[in-house]
Amino acid sequence: MSKSFDVIVIGGGPGGYIAAIRAAQLGFNVACVDEWKNDKGGPAPGGTCTNVGCIPSKALLQSSEHFDHAGNHFADHGIGLSNLTIDVTKMLGRKDQVVKQNNDGILYLLKKNKVSFFHGRGAFVKAESGTYEVSVSGTADATLSAKHVIVATGSIARQLPGAAFDEDRILSNDGALRIGAVPKTLGVIGSGVIGLEMGSVWRRLGAEVTILEALPGFLGAADEGVAKEALKAFTKQGLKFAFGVKITGVQTGAKGVVVAYTNAKGEAVTLDVERLIVSIGRIPNTIGLNAAGVGLALDERGAIIVDADCKTNLPNVWAVGDVVRGPMLAHKAEEEGVAVAERIAGQHGHVDFNLVPWVIYTSPEISWVGQTEQQLKAEGRAYKSGQFPFMANGRARALGDTTGFVKFLADAETDEILGVHIVGPFASELIAEAVVAMAFKASAEDIARICHAHPSLSEATKEAALAVDKRTLNY
């Protein structure tokens, strides 16, 4: 006997659990199936984001930033410390606690919203007379049926051919968050978001970190000016980079890993490290879903094919988050989840992909929304730009963190904001103002005319908006 629902959500990450909650708010009888297990075998909803992604990485970034401040910046404030140590076991334990609080919070939210949670793997069984049957195999086996199914099965780390993850020497994001002691040397393949964030954590704690990147340039998705400023800061912190490399072999031994590669000049080089993080992107995950069994169409990358509304090729089957096209970001997955639940209810859910902000939680933090200067140039769009350095911002000086700037790009004629790019302190928080402004189609002058509190980092945003019209007041 199958249990009948209006909506079944497969996957309990940010895309799935948020879709389930929104669908329940809209009056549907909802099931959410998620297979993630905690170390005791119990349910751990929240997906990659909560268990091995956004949340634990930010916990370790915070711990390592405290350590860095204590070791390198407290003295500037007259605070003396001797015998500074790091207890990695305790740091990892705290991170695990933060994860558990989030897992428990999601279980509570599902219950509060009367979503039925099933701990196990969900797989399509069949589609009959407009109803989908989904089997759950896991903690308790069950068969569910519903008219609507939302697939939110996320993504998994991409392996480098010939260098399978063993999570001991060759680490994915999962192992990179569980290194039991600070390695003397750490290699990272891929200078993308994970490479920079996890490389920063272990560098701050004392590891010698070398990042090998296939592309000739750094952080191609970011505005060029921001990427240049960030690279300067990271290099100053001691992160070592090699660009334009081609990995030719990875050998693990009892003591570590030897990575062989050719550098940008074509010379053969080897890198000997205790541990190696491979962060070369992620791939959509449909393992065990039986997509083929019901004819759910995937593209050549394994992503579920969806239209702009997250509709798949099957009637009433939707897919959201990392398992479909678009940026692999938790907030993008959430927005799609909400929009799909609203569409099922006959409402007009909407996601503006141009307004999905990016944040990299390094030090300095990097954030942006909208278009980069190089994209505008390629488009041939006439634009104006304005930039304001944190060096000229009073709050940044008081914080002792004056790296970076805020940069505005606005239409040359209408002054509409086309992109905002930030590198510097609390860029992750500052970007929200730019997203709001762009959502309301604001001009740079709109921001320039709004009263911003003094002294605050947000004054740099106002000043960058003023800079578009070449009338900064403090620079």
**What residues are annotated to the active site?**
454
User: Based on the number of CB atoms within 10 Å of its own CB, is 384 exposed (0-12), middle (13-18) or buried (19 or more)?
Assistant: middle
Among 7, 8, 9, 10, binds ligand FAD (CB under 6 A): 10
Task: Give me the least distance between CB of 287 and ligand NAI, in Å please.
Answer: 18
Say which entry of ligand FAD, ligand NAI, none residue 212 contacts (CB below 5 to 8 A, set by partner kind): ligand NAI
Among 31, 32, 48, 393, binds ligand FAD (CB under 6 A): 48
At residue 323, what are phi and psi to the nearest 5 degrees? -80, -5
Tokens 């300095």, residue located: 364
Running DSSP on this structure, what letter comes out for residue 390?
G
The Cα–Cα gap between 58 and 132 comes to: 38
Q: Calculate the CA 106 to chain-centre distance.
A: 19
Query: Judged by CB, which is closer to ligand FAD: 190, or 386?
Result: 190
Q: Please report which helix (H) or strand (E) contains residue 405, including its range.
A: strand 405-411
Residue 190 touching ligand NAI (CB under 6 A) = yes
Number of residues that bind ligand NAI (CB under 6 A): 24
Q: How are the residues of the chain apportioned to helix, strand and coil, as percentages rounded to the nearest 5?
A: 35, 30, 40
Which residue has the CB atom at the shortest distance from ligand NAI?
Answer: 192
Residue 193 touching ligand NAI (CB under 6 A) = yes
Contact 442, 376 (CB under 8 A): no
Among 16, 43, 404, 425, binds ligand FAD (CB under 6 A): 16
The angle subtended at Cα 319 by Cα 303 and Cα 10, nearest 5°, is 105
Residue 281 touching ligand NAI (CB under 6 A) = yes
Site for ligand NAI in 131-170 (CB under 6 A): 160
Stretch that binds ligand FAD, among 34-42, 262-270, 302-310, 374-382 (CB under 6 A): 34-42
Task: Give me the least distance between CB of 397 and ligand NAI, in Å please.
Answer: 27
The Cα–Cα gap between 425 and 364 comes to: 6
Structure tokens at 399: 């914080």
Stretch that binds ligand FAD, among 261-269, 291-299, 330-338, 386-394 (CB under 6 A): 330-338
Residue 365 touching ligand NAI (CB under 6 A) = no
Contact 235, 148 (CB under 8 A): no
Residue 273 touching ligand NAI (CB under 6 A) = no
Contact 245, 212 (CB under 8 A): yes
CB atoms near residue 436 (< 10 Å): 13
Residue 279 touching ligand NAI (CB under 6 A) = yes
Say which entry of ligand NAI, ligand FAD, none residue 357 contacts (CB below 5 to 8 A, set by partner kind): none
Query: Judged by CB, which is closer to ligand NAI: 149, or 250?
Result: 250
Nearest to 273 by CA among 184, 161, 374, 152: 184
Residue 324 touching ligand NAI (CB under 6 A) = no
Say which entry of ligand NAI, ligand FAD, none residue 280 contacts (CB below 5 to 8 A, set by partner kind): ligand NAI
The Cα–Cα gap between 311 and 292 comes to: 17
Residue 121 touching ligand FAD (CB under 6 A) = yes
Nearest to 33 by CA among 141, 126, 127: 141
> Interface with ligand FAD by CB under 6 A: which residues?
10-16, 33-36, 47-49, 53-54, 57, 121-122, 152-155, 173, 194, 285, 288-289, 321-323, 328-331, 333
> Interface with ligand NAI by CB under 6 A: which residues?
160, 189-195, 197, 212-215, 247, 279-282, 327-329, 359-361
